[in-house]
Amino acid sequence: DQQVKQNSPSLSVQEGRISILNCDYTNSMFDYFLWYKKYPAEGPTFLISISSIKDKNEDGRFTVFLNKSAKHLSLHIVPSQPGDSAVYFCAAISNSGYALNFGKGTSLLVTP
Amino acid sequence: ETGVTQSPTHLIKTRGQQVTLRCSSQSGHNTVSWYQQALGQGPQFIFPYYREEENGRGNFPPRFSGLQFPNYSSELNVNALELDDSALYLCASSLERGRSYEQYFGPGTRLTVT
């Protein structure tokens, strides 16, 4: 049973524009959410995270928004750059365990 | 600061065989978790090792087992390999639960079972 869902397998955005990647979850016990970026032949790289007690966290060009009532989070990348082209995974974890629960990923392509 | 390393990079095994994969954690991290990533899927949690003990398990059978050593490095062992075990195996290191939720991944070992 997929507890974290990324319903868009792919997204194409022009360089300089905003990229918005979405993620939904079903388990209300999750209290920490993370985004990872993955290039081919590499492991996932931690990008940004947010605690369930916050609704926004910003780090440079990357901002994560959390809507707990809707069980929805999104990652905004502004401005998008060609080097951002990768697969982005949303993950969630509860404070009682070690398991990161991942979505299936969204492949982002940023075109010049 | 040394990142997470894994060996080998690639491995080809025959159904029924056994395999051992290795992981060295990032310096300063004492917890190692293992994940399996099948093609087109997100990583699936196998189990974590903290203080040289397994601390919980995802939906994987007992033929998946592991070890953690005093220097926090870890091994993943898979017995009686099946074709469906073909995947990218990732290890992730972290500080113990409660201090940090971020897990940092190695490059993975690509296992092919024929």
Give the helix ranges, DSSP H, for A47-103: none
From the candidates A10, A100, A102, which should be mutated to test the interface with B, based on the most B CB atoms within 10 A? A100
pLDDT of residue B97: 66
Q: Which comes out higher in pLDDT, residue B28 or A27?
A: A27
What are the E-state strand segments in A52-111?
56-59, 62-67, 72-77, 86-93, 101-102, 106-111
Q: How far is B3 from chain A (nearest CA, A)?
A: 11
* Per-residue pLDDT at A78: 98
Query: Which whole-number Å values give the CA distances from B34 to A10, A42, B84, in the listed order?
Result: 27, 15, 17
Question: Does residue B96 surpass a pLDDT of 80?
Answer: no
**Is some CB atom of chain A closer than 8 A to the CB atom of B66?**
no
Each residue's pLDDT tens digit, B64-92: 999 999 989 999 999 999 999 999 999 99
Q: Which residues of B41-68 are buried (b: 16+ CB within 10 A; e: fewer)?
A: ebbbbbbbbbeeeebebbebeeebbbbb
A-to-B residue pairs, Cβ atoms closer than 8 angstroms: 64
What pLDDT score was predicted for residue A98?
Answer: 85
DSSP string, A16-61: TS-EEEEEEE--TT--EEEEEEE-TTS--EEEEEEETT-SEEEETT
**In the predicted model, is pLDDT for residue B2 greater than 80?**
no
Interface of chain A toward chain B, CB-CB under 8 angstroms: 4, 32, 34, 36, 41-46, 49, 89, 91, 93, 95, 97-105
- The string of pLDDT tens digits covering residues B40-64 is 899 999 999 988 888 889 999 999 9
Instruction: Output the average pLDDT for chain A.
Output: 95
CB-nearest partner of A43 from B42, B48, B107: B107
Answer yes or no: do A93 and B101 touch at CB < 8 A: yes
Q: What percent of chain A has pLDDT over 90?
A: 89
A48-95 per-position pLDDT tens digit: 999 999 999 999 999 999 999 999 999 999 999 999 999 999 999 988
A13 pLDDT higher than 90: yes
Q: Please report how many Cα atoms fall inside a 13 Å half-sphere around the Cα of residue A4, on the Cβ side.
A: 29
The residues in B 68-107 lying below 8 A from A, measured between CB atoms, are: 90, 92, 94, 97-98, 101-107
| pLDDT of res. B98 | 62
Q: Report the helix count and the strand count for chain B, using DSSP H and E.
A: 0, 11
